[in-house]
Amino acid sequence: MKRNYWAAIALLSVAVVWGAAFVLMKDAIERQPLYDFLAVRFTIATLIMIAVRPQVLKAIDKELLKKGIVLGLLLSGGYITQTIGLSMTTAAITGFITGLYVVLTPILGWLILGQKAGTKVIWGVALATVGLALISITGVSIEVGQIWVMLCALLFAAHIIGLGAWSKGLNTYALTVIQLGVTACVSWFGALGDGVQMPGDFDGWFAILFTAVFSTAIAFFVQTWAQSHMDASRVAIILTSEVVFAAAISVAVGQEVLQLKTILGGLIMIAAMERGAGGEHPQGFAQPLLQCDVPSHKQGESCKAQALPARVGFPCRDLQEDQTVGSR
């Protein structure tokens, strides 16, 4: 019980950090080109992951590299489209729409893999559609920035599907390092076109270091520990609070003022995420977290460990260096 309590606190802290990241990034990409921001962020995050476990480089083989590159391209696409959208719309709306990947994951599992989605997932999609309409539609139009964020949610969902299909038996830590490295490389490719521009002030560097260290690297380790002590439904529901914190922090710092329809739409979308998180999902896509069997860190017994990989690109957090994702 005590471990569950601290695990919940830890996951809630991750959600707060992720929510705050939207607000910091919104300000940072007004000072620095978005590709440059992402390039520096993910380079630092990758180097931290390697510095913590330098021996991970020896675990990278041809198969891991090939799959990691493809998954990394999906992940980088998600982050790039999200950041483009964030530059055109508000932090709160970006957070709400990004959260759609929770609902889209089992739907893509059904479309791509032919796996049946449960009725609760279908209700989640219906609620998400209503919420998205309230947030996005102004008159007869939808903002371009919101379309970019919708694409981001779709790419994050596709990334989770790819992890579910390919990560079996692979070293998850090494797979994470590859994906973060690919995201950094893709971002550098975009940044080099106009010349690299580093942050010009303390606020710019703070945003980069916060998202690289806390939102990515430290979030990996915190979630690894916390999710080994809680079931997937609770994990998913706690992490959906990220969008609430994004909106609340954005308003608190005076970055935006939420309209009534945005608040109502956001609440409906949160309900959709929680419905999707607790619903019946295709085999291998639990809540819609990726489901895997790993040895228990405490007793060596088999346990269910699920994770939300879209943020930092790992399918199953494990504390032991040699653990890999088991059967789905």
**Tens digits of per-residue pLDDT, 174-232?**
998 999 999 999 999 999 888 888 888 898 899 999 999 999 888 878 877 776 777 65
Mean pLDDT on 299-318: 41
Task: Please state, for a pLDDT cut of 90, what percent of the chain lies above it.
Answer: 31
Q: pLDDT class for 310, splitting at 50, 70, 90?
A: very low
Q: Which residues contact 287 (CB under 8 A, 6 or more apart)?
A: 232, 233, 235, 236, 276, 277, 278, 279, 281, 306
Answer with the residue of higher pLDDT: 268 or 121: 268
Q: Where are the alpha helices (DSSP H) in the chain?
A: 2-28, 34-52, 62-88, 91-98, 101-113, 119-136, 144-166, 172-192, 202-209, 219-226, 232-239, 242-252, 260-278
In contact, 310 and 162? CB cutoff 8 Å: no
Give the tens place of pLDDT for each residue, 50-106. Answer: 999 999 999 999 999 999 999 999 999 999 999 999 999 888 888 888 888 877 887
Please count the residues of the chain: 328
How confident is the model over 130-165, as pLDDT tens digits? 877 777 666 555 788 989 999 999 999 898 888 878
* pLDDT attached to residue 69: 95
Q: What pLDDT is recorded for position 294?
A: 36
Instruction: Please count the other Cβ atoms lying within 10 Å of the Cβ belonging to residue 87.
Output: 16
219: alpha, beta or left, given left = phi > 0 and alpha = psi -120 to 50? alpha
In the predicted structure, residue 19 carries a pLDDT above the cut 50: yes
CA distances from 260 to 2, 55, 77, 264, 270 (A): 39, 52, 31, 6, 15
Residue 300 binned pLDDT confidence (cut-offs 50, 70, 90)? very low
Q: What is the mean pLDDT of the chain?
A: 77
Please report, for the chain, the start and end positions of each structural domain, with discontinuous segments joined by +.
2-307
222-245 average pLDDT score:
73
Q: Measured between alpha carbons, how far apart are the two ends of the chain, in Å?
A: 28
Residues 232, 104, 275: CA angle, nearest 5 degrees: 50
Q: 269 falls in which pLDDT band (50, 70, 90)?
A: confident
At residue 309, the pLDDT reads 42
CA 181/CA 187 separation, integer angstroms: 10
User: Residue 294 corresponds to which tokens in the numbers above?
Assistant: 């790993």
What pLDDT does 136 receive?
66
